[in-house]
Structure 1
C-alpha cells in the first residue's frame, strides 16, 4: 500500500506516520493478494479533538472511515476497527454469494473464527438503515469535465454539481471499469 498522510492543524511526525502505517498495514491480512492501492489519511485537530479519516480505494471495494477522539492513537485504533468491520462485512457478502451459487463452503477459511461469526450475527441484526450524518453544501455551476476533476481531487467515487448549461443537478461517478458516468434528470 502507498500511504498519503496529511495533517490539518497538526504536524505529522514520523512516530504518527509509523503508527498509522503499522495499523493500516494489518488490514492486508484479509486479502489473498497484496493490496496495490493508495491509502489517503487525513489527521486533523479541531477544538482539542483529534480526528482521523482513512480512505482506501480498491478495485471492488472502497473502504472509508473516520473517527474523533481526545487521543490521536485511540482514534486511529477506532478507525481501524471500523475498517475491519467493513472488510468482514464485504467478505461475508462474497461468501454468502458463493455459497448460494454452490461454491465450496469455506472460501475464506482464515476469517472463519468465533469472533468473526459473533460480529457477523451482530451485523445481521443491524440491517436497519439509519442516516447518521447530513451534509449541506452549495452546488457550483460547472461542466461535467470540471466535476470529474473535482471528484478525483477529493478522492470520492461520485460528485454532485449543477450543470452550467442546463441548470439541473447532475452526478458524475467512477464506474467499476475505471471510466466515468453522468446521471442527469429526465
Structure 2
C-alpha cells in the first residue's frame, strides 16, 4: 500500500515517517484492498503562540468507498495514534456490518403511506425535533466556540456531486468517512436526504420533499 505524508506548518521527520509506515501496516491488515493512505499533519498555534496543537488527517483510498479519520493533540505522534485508532475502528465496524448483512440479509423498505422505514434501524426525525433545531431551542455546536476570533456568522461550505443510493448504503458510507451525518439522494423516491447518527447503532434520516433531477445533473 502506498503512503503519502504532507506537512502544513510542520516538517516531516524520519522518525515520524517510520511511525507512519508501521501504522500503515496495521491499516493494511484491516483493509487489504486499500491502495493508498494519505497522511496530512497540520500545525496550529493559538493565542500568540502560547497554545499549539497538531491535527493528523488520514484518507484511505482503494477499491471501494473512501475512508477518512482525523484527530488533534498537542503531540503529533499522539494525534497520529488517535487518528489511526479511529480509522481502524471505522474499518472494523464496516466489516462487522458486512458480515452481519451476509448472515442476516435485509433491505430497507419505505411505506409510502405512513412514511415509515422498515428493515433498518433508521427513524425519521420528528416534527418537534426539526422545529426545535430551526428555532434554536436545540443549539448546533460546532466545536470551534473557544477559538480566538470565532464567530458563528462564519460558515464553512463544501459542495459535492449528488449520489443516488439507498438509506442503508448511505449509513455505511457515513460510518466509513467517520462523520455524524451523510448527504445523498434516496434512490427509492429521488428525494435529497441526510442520514445522521443518534445513539450507538441507532440512526435518523431527514428527507426533502423536493425531487432531485437526474437529467439536470447529467446536463
The count of aligned residue pairs is: 119
Helix, strand or coil: the match of 1:24?
helix
- Are 1:58 and 2:50 counterparts? no
| CA positional deviation for 1:182 | 9.0
* Offset at residue 38 of structure 1 (A): 1.6
TM-score, normalization: structure 2? Answer: 0.46
Is the aligned partner of 1:78 residue 2:91?
Answer: no
Match of 1:5 in 2: 5
Q: Cα deviation per residue 1:92-124 (whole Å; 9 max; x = unaligned)? A: 1100111024xxxxxxxxxxxxxxxxxxxxxxx
Equivalent in the alignment of 1:93: 97
Q: Distance in 2 between matches of 1:132 and 1:37?
A: 35
User: Using the alignment, how far apart are the partners of 1:79 and 1:60 within structure 2?
Assistant: 20
Gaps of 5+ in 1: 102-126, 145-155, 157-180
Q: CA deviation at 1:59?
A: 1.4
What corresponds to 1:46 in structure 2? 44
Moved over 6 A (4+): none
Following the alignment from structure 2 to structure 1, what is the Cα–Cα distance between the partners of residues 9 and 87? 24
In the TM superposition, residue 60 of structure 1 has moved relative to its aligned partner by: 2.0
Map of 1:28 onto structure 2: 28
In the other structure, the counterpart of 1:17 is 17
Note the aligned Cα RMSD (angstroms): 3.6
